[in-house]
Amino acid sequence: TALALVGLFDSWRLAINSLVTTSLSLDAAMGSTAPFRDEIHALRGHRGQIVAARVVRTLLEGSQIRESHRADDLRVQDPYCLRCAPQVIGACLDQLSQAANVLRIEANAATDNPLVLSDGSIVSGGNFHAEPVGMAADGIAIAVSEIGAIAQRRIALLVDPSLSFGLPAFLAPSPGLQSGLMIAEVTSAALMSENKALANPRVVDSTPTSANQEDHVSMACHGARRLLEMNANLAAILGIEAMTAAQGVECRAPLLTSEALQGAMTRIRSASPSLTGDRLMEPDIAAMADLLASGMLADGVAEDSIAGFGE
């Protein structure tokens, strides 16, 4: 339970931060905010989706980049990684919220065996069986994997000139002569693939022991422990998205992003300076992963908009 709670807290923090990286990517790609209108999401009714759309919509208010193409954009609709971000991230927020409810109950539960009951009797039962924890951990793992998967597709979009609506190849200052963020994008794809494998459910893999007395177990410890690695991978993926989106937003100069996202840009650039030429990216990726893991990217930017959701 303790390991699952650590995984939950880390993944929740990263999920909130992913709304900031999503917003930056949307602006860098000159995406449309129309799919984030409140009525669209209210018609479906999922709380996480509604909140995710509201946060992105709020973060983009006042963006000069958005206003520059609102009236004369000939594109009909954006790719799913932009347009369906509320549906995906929102579903993950709901999944994490459900896991939080399960783990809250479990953290306050009597799970010893045997138990001493109120009448003084000592009874062997099954409250030690951690199936609820195992299922919650599996749900968290799926959410972590999906947040990273859709973020990686946004990274791929931003470095591809056929998809990025005018951004240079790999966001390099001199495309063709420089690699830009190519290796960073490849790194994000590798981390995404690792998390896909790690997200396979653990509760379905019961191994009988103790002469078949313990013939069905939850594998909850395995399920919870892998969340630490998955969240570290997700922090790096979102860190790469943040630095990629920031580079893309800077390519739209003299147009500026929103005031809220300019604050996020300042934090990003304190960890990873603007790309002016090819350089070793490992220090940047590590610094950005630390920033995302700390939750500071969304501090005062998105956290206020989602306050109370997970309560």
Tell me the average pLDDT across 144-157.
99
| Confidence (pLDDT) at 214 | 87
Per-residue confidence band for 114, with pLDDT thresholds at 50, 70 and 90: very high
Give the separation between CA 308 and CA 272, rounded to whole angstroms: 31
> What is the percent of the chain with per-residue pLDDT over 70, rounded to a whole number?
97
Tell me the average pLDDT across 84-108.
98
| Confidence (pLDDT) at 76 | 84
| Confidence (pLDDT) at 92 | 99
Is the pLDDT confidence value at 46 over 60?
yes
Domain ranges of the chain: 2-110+128-205+216-306
- 2-110+128-205+216-306: CATH class: mainly alpha
Is the pLDDT confidence value at 49 over 60?
yes
